[in-house]
Amino acid sequence: MEDKKIIIITAPSGSGKTTLVKELMKNVPDLAFSISACTRSPRENEVHGKDYYFYSVEEFKNLANKGAFLEWEMVYEGKFYGTLKSECERIWEDKKTPIFDIDVQGAMNLQKQYPHSSLSIFIQAPSLEELRNRLIKRGTETPETLEERINKAKAEQHSAPEFDAIIINDDLKIATNKLTNTVTDFLSGDEPDE
């Protein structure tokens, strides 16, 4: 499995990571999104089997007990998220490279499992203030979950240097270009430039 590459994208919630990943995937067709399992409720427009596999806590725990995950975590209080081994296998069988959009702890965990075949990228919002504004604008959080996400983001910023590259998402176009170049270099065998 070690020679098969993986791309890990991580960031604090609200950094614009999901949008950037979508842009990246338009530019690099060899990538395929690894759909995670999670136990939070779907947001408007989110589809089971496309954005996530949405499970009950019981279903999720059964999968974890069966060893279905490469990594899993309680990312927020009572909300579990996990990377499915079956997704990775499906994508490799398709001769594509899986791309994971996961939280910082999960990203460090995967990076340890694939130290030589992974590219890990930390997406940073320009500031915590901007991150707060983006989360408010998204309108998906209650005051409590907003604070939980901000506090987690503060802690996660410290882990940025652990990753192969850091990309600041100030201007979407510039960040997309930088991300695309970093990923393309990695897939073609070059080392990341940061």
152 contacts: CB under 8 Å, gap ≥ 6:
12, 13, 76
Contact call for residue 13 and ligand 5GP (CB under 6 A): yes
Contact call for residue 16 and ligand 5GP (CB under 6 A): no
89 contacts: CB under 8 Å, gap ≥ 6:
none
Lookup: tokens for 49 = 């089997």
70, 83 contact by CB (below 8 A): yes
What would the x/- binding string for ligand 5GP be over residues 129 to 168, using CB under 6 A? ----------------------------------------
Number of residues that bind ligand 5GP (CB under 6 A): 13
175, 22 contact by CB (below 8 A): no
Shortest CB 16 distance to ligand 5GP, Å: 12
Q: Which of residues 67-96 bind ligand 5GP (CB under 6 A)?
A: 71, 73, 75, 81-83
Q: H-type helices in 114-190, by residue range? A: 128-138, 143-157, 172-187
Comparison of 55 and 185: residue with beta carbon closer to ligand 5GP: 55
- Reduced to 3 states (helix: H, G, I; strand: E, B; else coil), residue 5 is coil
Q: In the bound complex, which residue of the shown chain has the CB atom lying closest to ligand 5GP?
A: 106
Binding span for ligand 5GP by CB under 6 A among 55-63, 86-94, 97-105, 127-135: 97-105
Shortest CB 83 distance to ligand 5GP, Å: 4
* E strand spans, 67-141: 69-76, 79-84, 97-102, 118-124
Comparison of 89 and 193: residue with beta carbon closer to ligand 5GP: 89
Shortest CB 131 distance to ligand 5GP, Å: 12
Helix axes 172-187, 17-27, angle to 10 degrees: 50
Shortest CB 70 distance to ligand 5GP, Å: 8
Contact call for residue 36 and ligand 5GP (CB under 6 A): yes
37-38 β-sheet, strand order: 53-54, 37-38, 79-84, 69-76
Residue numbers of the site for ligand 5GP (CB under 6 A)? 13, 36, 40, 71, 73, 75, 81-83, 101-103, 106
